[in-house]
Structure 1
Amino acid sequence: MEREPNRLLQQLIAEAGLSHKGLARRLNDLGAARGTPGLKYDHSSVLRWIGGQRPRDPVPSLLTEIFALRLGRPVSPAEVGMPVITTPLDLGQEFTHTWKEGVATVTALWRADMERRRFLIDSTFAIGAGSVGAVRWLTATSDERPSGSGTRRVGRADIAAINEVTRSFGELDNRFGSGRVRSSVIKYLDNAVSPLLREGAYGEPTGRQLAAAAAELTRLAGWMAYDLEQHGLAQRYLIQALSLARGADDHALGGEILAGMAHQAIYMGQHAHALDLARAAQLSARRAGVHTLLSSAQVLEAHAHAGLGDARSCGNALHDAEIAFDSRVPRNEPAWLSYFDEAYLSAKFAHCFRDLGEGERVVRQARRSLDMDGRYVRGRMFNLSLLAAGLLQCGELEEACQVTGTALKLANDLQSARSRSYAADLRRRLEPYKGEPAVRALRERTRELSLA
């Protein structure tokens, strides 16, 4: 995707009588003098900036200083074609009211993430932001017309490309963990999807398809941040994915995103918040008439009840989830829901029973969950962890150690913070038995693994 050329920068370089190589050299030297050593820009970097790429800080300010010294007059960032961009610290936490506001927010989030802005990396999870996003999703009207009046016509091929990228990155994420692929997803969002949203020409039908495609990939990027336990960043992405789903007027997709938000809240121990989000997801699933999604949202409600220690409400929600699951017609449902099969449902049941301390039921459901698609390597690690935990609750120490060893070996090859947390949980559960021969043998078998 081509960017608008930075003609202001090109004109300044000519006015200053600098070569591209000479400008890059001055930039590197000045950076070292100003406390930013190690800059290694060259003539190719300058060509990219002229082509429209915006360099990271502190390059724009260094360029203004170089030109000011060379020309003998003040030079502002705007004159260099790189105006100062003030980024709000709550970027991405707000579910905006209009399509244009939403596009501006989500594309700014992608750019700030690409630039590894510290406030995003350090951001914390905000229950209020998630609650407001859910309420606005449920109460938003569907009369908005997503459209763009830019210079590049957006067509089916553009949208198909986004969908294929989402599918491919999703498969890689499940096989290798989010740490190996998330940076590539963010780069694609910023370099390819952002120009389509901001600078594309599209009417309402194409706009809704573009919004849906962008929402799915943004949701995946948020899910990856969650897998890396970057919870504040993940929440911002999921809220913005929900906003894009509103532009698409896609209740099924919105429900899936709300379910993902509930999933994250449960993982973080925010069970009351998760309950609200799971119920909001159910409302969206009913609006869309998608039974698999309804089952997913109901089993998340059950898990939230389990976390709150409410076994009766958990059982009722699990019963509802089974009824919805049995009513589904997969061929009539979105392709992105194909992951939610009998094995996945069994795994969610096992999570509930583990948190309620019902070991025999954990083992029964966890064994069923292992009859799963082999591409979901990270999911298999989670399910093995559930089985090991259930076996420990049943007093089956030797088999628990065997299963734990397999789970730890899978986790070792994944770049997934959640996998490491599951591994750490298993180690904590085994700690009371550290003197037993089976645990000592497990420790010896897994000694060479790089797990922290």
Structure 2
Amino acid sequence: MSAKTAPNDRLQLLIAQAGVSYEALARSLCHIAAENGDHTLRANKSAVAHWVAGTRPQPRTAGYLAEALSRRLARPLTPADLGLRSGDEPIYDPAALPGDPVAAVARLGRADVDRRTLISGAAYSVAALVLPLQQPEIAARAHAARARPTVAVGQGEIDAVRQMTVAFNAADERLGGGHARSAVVEYLTTDVTAFLGGSFATEALRKSMFGAAAQLAYLAGWKAHDLGYSGLAQRYYLHSYQLASEADPHAHAAYGLRILAHQAMDLGLREHCVDLADAALDRVKGRVDPDTESLFWLTAARAHAADGSSQEARSALSTAERLLDRSLGDAAPEWASLGGPAEARLANQSGKALQAMGDLKAAEEQLRRSARCWNAATHPRIHALTLADLAETQCAQGNVEAACQTWNSALDGMTGIRSARTRDAITIMRANLAVYRRRGLTAAQRLETRAANLGGREPQS
């Protein structure tokens, strides 16, 4: 006869401190799982009761449970804090940034490539968003933590990393985050981390290599984000920020803060976004060309719009437009140029900010402008997603026939792309058109047939 399982008193105490019912906690758990691309998790109050009684959830579920309670209690928690310690080596601490980002990104990448269970259960952490704001001295700590270099690194190696990043990024834009993601992570984990531990003839070369590595780490995070692995993406973004801080603690590091804010907004999590956007602006002002600075004002606009501060959002949008008007065609920094043309990004982010403020007519104009700017041949994913956003604004204004035409064009660009974001856009389309399908609108019914073939999830009733 097996021994009786001991109750998990630590988990029970934390649930009591959070003041949340088992049912509400289960709902939060499923919501966080969905944020991280896991739409298969089914949890209810009975499952929570079993965990409190001593049954151990799967490692992935334990990660979501820790994040759910972290948000309720406004402090970072790990599965171990919940009495769910595993035998795996810890990959990431949500309460602190690692002292050595080179070792940390190598460990993270290796666990990612090896498909470690702990990585698959790494939930997106709201608490981790403030770590870059709380620990500004990370560059100095990271530099001191590295061991004696053994490999001589020069401009040739730096150029190779940058060229590989450009090639990987171009393929990502055409084919989606699911294409060659493991190859990106493998290259980062092996060749690039070896270069980072090498010796450099000058400090400028060292900084340049760290800047190149930061771009590649960002791309690894972006590909994870595009596949819906939000927690994993956040960890790559944080390490990218740390690497960028060694290359340029002002402008390049600010771009890392900007990315963290954008990911949170894309997930519908507005907490800390204004702080991140403001901190990024403070670092970048006067240090980059007008086109690049406009991107940071757009981040601030979206953050304020999400926070309900329409006046501040519109002011930031106006500043971004003025900066773009002042553009002299200066070359943007490499870390900012991979995202595409400045005008396309400005119009896209402006449209999203205006959507958040409820100004759908103005949002429609900006999203239409953005769609015209993107080259559908080289950037089919963002072109299609922009069209999907445009169609959503048209539908919300009652222009259903026009929306169906726009969604049809969006679906044209999604064929062959391996991306959770395109699948989510299809799911949103199906939900928006459900009522019109039931009314017999032919265009909506045809889109439903196309959507089912492309793999959008059936919306829940």
Alignment partner of 1:201 is 2:187: no
Distance 2:95 2:372 in 1: 38
Structure 2: give runs of 5+ residues left out of the alignment.
1-86
Residue matched to 1:361: 362
- Letter of the structure 1 residue corresponding to residue 369 of structure 2: R
Give deviations 1:246-279, integer Å, cap 9, x for gaps. 2113522212221111110001111132222211
Alignment partner of 1:448 is 2:453: yes
Once the 2 structures are TM-superposed, how far is the Cα of residue 191 of structure 1 from its aligned partner? 2.2
Alignment partner of 1:334 is 2:333: yes
Give deviations 1:175-203, integer Å, cap 9, x for gaps. 110101211101111221122223x2325
Secondary structure at the residue paired with 2:454?
A: coil
Structure whose alpha-carbon radius of gyration is higher: 1
Residue matched to 2:296: 297
Once the 2 structures are TM-superposed, how far is the Cα of residue 172 of structure 1 from its aligned partner? 0.7
Give deviations 1:42-69, integer Å, cap 9, x for gaps. xxxxxxxxxxxxxxxxxxxxxxxxxxxx
Identity over aligned pairs, percent: 30
Secondary structure at the residue paired with 2:199?
A: strand
Moved more, 131-140 or 417-426: 131-140
Distance 1:311 1:362 in 2: 14
Residue matched to 2:31: none
Distance 1:340 1:87 in 2: 42
- When the two structures are superposed, what TM-score results if normalisation uses the length of structure 1? 0.74
Match for 1:399 among 382, 399, 402? 402
> Contact 1:147/1:207 (CA < 8 Å) preserved in 2?
no
Residue matched to 2:18: none
Once the 2 structures are TM-superposed, how far is the Cα of residue 420 of structure 1 from its aligned partner? 1.3
Structure 1: give runs of 5+ residues left out of the alignment.
1-84
- Letter of the structure 1 residue corresponding to residue 445 of structure 2: R
Question: Using a 3 Å threshold, how does the CA distance of structure 1 residues 286 and 140 change in structure 2: closer, same or farther?
Answer: farther
Question: Using a 3 Å threshold, how does the CA distance of structure 1 residues 330 and 116 change in structure 2: closer, same or farther?
Answer: farther
- Letter of the structure 2 residue corresponding to residue 243 of structure 1: Q
Distance 2:335 2:142 in 1: 26
Q: 1:267-346, aligned counterparts within 5 Å?
A: 267-286=266-285, 288-338=287-337, 339-346=340-347
Give deviations 1:113-134, integer Å, cap 9, x for gaps. 2211111121111122221123
Q: 1:238-253, aligned counterparts within 5 Å?
A: 238-253=237-252
Distance 1:306 1:188 in 2: 38
Question: Using a 3 Å threshold, how does the CA distance of structure 1 residues 139 and 146 change in structure 2: closer, same or farther?
Answer: closer
Once the 2 structures are TM-superposed, how far is the Cα of residue 146 of structure 1 from its aligned partner? 9.7
- Letter of the structure 1 residue corresponding to residue 89 of structure 2: T
- Letter of the structure 2 residue corresponding to residue 300 of structure 1: T
Distance 2:137 2:286 in 1: 10
Match for 2:385 among 382, 387, 393? 382
Secondary structure at the residue paired with 1:300?
A: helix
Once the 2 structures are TM-superposed, how far is the Cα of residue 446 of structure 1 from its aligned partner? 4.6
Give deviations 1:357-410, integer Å, cap 9, x for gaps. 322212211211122242111110111012111211232111110111121232
Q: 1:140-219, aligned counterparts within 5 Å?
A: 149-198=148-197, 200-203=198-201, 204-219=203-218
Moved more, 384-393 or 158-167: 384-393
Residue matched to 2:132: 133
Alignment partner of 1:437 is 2:442: yes
Once the 2 structures are TM-superposed, how far is the Cα of residue 445 of structure 1 from its aligned partner? 4.8
- Letter of the structure 1 residue corresponding to residue 158 of structure 2: I
Distance 2:117 2:253 in 1: 29
Once the 2 structures are TM-superposed, how far is the Cα of residue 142 of structure 1 from its aligned partner? 10
Distance 1:413 1:433 in 2: 27
Residue matched to 1:422: 425
- When the two structures are superposed, what TM-score results if normalisation uses the length of structure 2? 0.73
Distance 1:343 1:313 in 2: 22
> Contact 2:94/2:128 (CA < 8 Å) preserved in 1?
no
Question: Using a 3 Å threshold, how does the CA distance of structure 1 residues 176 and 92 change in structure 2: closer, same or farther?
Answer: farther
Distance 1:246 1:318 in 2: 27
Question: Using a 3 Å threshold, how does the CA distance of structure 1 residues 221 and 329 change in structure 2: closer, same or farther?
Answer: farther
Question: Using a 3 Å threshold, how does the CA distance of structure 1 residues 312 and 249 change in structure 2: closer, same or farther?
Answer: closer
Once the 2 structures are TM-superposed, how far is the Cα of residue 283 of structure 1 from its aligned partner? 1.6
Give deviations 1:209-257, integer Å, cap 9, x for gaps. 2111111100111111111111111111111111111211352221222
Distance 1:109 1:139 in 2: 18
Secondary structure at the residue paired with 2:271?
A: helix
> Contact 1:146/1:247 (CA < 8 Å) preserved in 2?
no
Distance 2:193 2:143 in 1: 20
> Contact 2:423/2:456 (CA < 8 Å) preserved in 1?
yes
How many pairs does the alignment contain? 364
Once the 2 structures are TM-superposed, how far is the Cα of residue 289 of structure 1 from its aligned partner? 3.5
Secondary structure at the residue paired with 2:123?
A: coil
Aligned CA-pair RMSD: 2.6
Distance 2:454 2:270 in 1: 33
